[in-house]
Amino acid sequence: MSGAPSPEKALRILALFSEERLEWTPEEMMAELGYARPTLYRYLKMLREAGLVTSLPGAGFTLGPRVVEMDFLMRKSDRLVLAGQGELVGLTGVWPCSALLVRWYGERLLCVASECSTPNPLSSYPRGRPMPLVRGAIARSIIAALPRRQMQQHVAANLDEFAALGLGDSVSGICARLREVRRDGVAVAHGEVTPGVVGVAAPVFDAAQTPIASLCVTIAAELVGAARLAEIRTRVRAAAGRLSDHLSDRRFGDSRPAADPSRATFRVATQS
């Protein structure tokens, strides 16, 4: 319908808000998006009426209360969060650590649930804060589980950062290292995201055997010897496998398709 609001244009306004820019004036929005003033104000009115943005006299626009309400509803309905919370509690009950459940969507990694059994959380990325797409156990656990072509594309797009981590200097070489992670089922990172912290993460798969999340334990490096690291790897691997199986069960019941054996083998491993 001609003249009807464009969802894409409204989403572009919402996408402006970030940790670096929490507030925008209409003038700044117009300069950034290239919208004419009448167009911008039409979309701002629509978003404000929906509670997705808000503003005060003399101030810019910020995200609105509907976002908080949607977050509450997501916590109550997201099967990944509901099933994963018990696994997080179980892991933090074994060691003084933080346990995170991180969802992969689009080109973002976002913590959606966490538990902590230390006075101070051992993570630089609390719930809702986007995480690095290359550094750390969480990122590599998911990247290693991607289909080959998607993995290669991701590595090529972030080649310099992978090389800076010492993982290789070519797409083929880095992908070979990631395939080792895939076979092992565990990615371990030492201080790559948070100094002095070891991360151990394993991928979580949906019923289609697609990696959708990562389950991770972060623990102070001085508490991790070889034996404890081996135990953490085993427990994180098992927890991620149970969560993957649960998500498959909830979607398909007894009629779900047979799992891909190669993915099943990977799930029985642990990543970080």
What is the average pLDDT score of the chain?
Answer: 85
Q: Is the confidence at residue 144, as pLDDT, over 90?
A: yes
Are 49 and 87 found together in one domain? no
Q: Tell me, what CATH number does 19's domain have?
A: 1.10.10.10
Q: Is the confidence at residue 268, as pLDDT, over 50?
A: no
In a domain, 272, yes or no: no
pLDDT tens digit string along 109-128? 888 999 999 887 666 677 77
In a domain, 2, yes or no: no
Are 187 and 228 found together in one domain? yes
3-state secondary structure of 78: coil
Q: Is the confidence at residue 2, as pLDDT, over 70?
A: no
Query: 51 Cβ partners below 8 Å, 6+ apart?
Result: 64, 65, 66, 67, 69
Q: Is the confidence at residue 261, as pLDDT, over 70?
A: no
pLDDT tens digit string along 159-199? 998 998 888 889 999 999 999 999 989 999 998 888 899 99
Q: CA nearest 127: which of 95, 88, 158, 175?
A: 88
Query: 93 Cβ partners below 8 Å, 6+ apart?
Result: 117
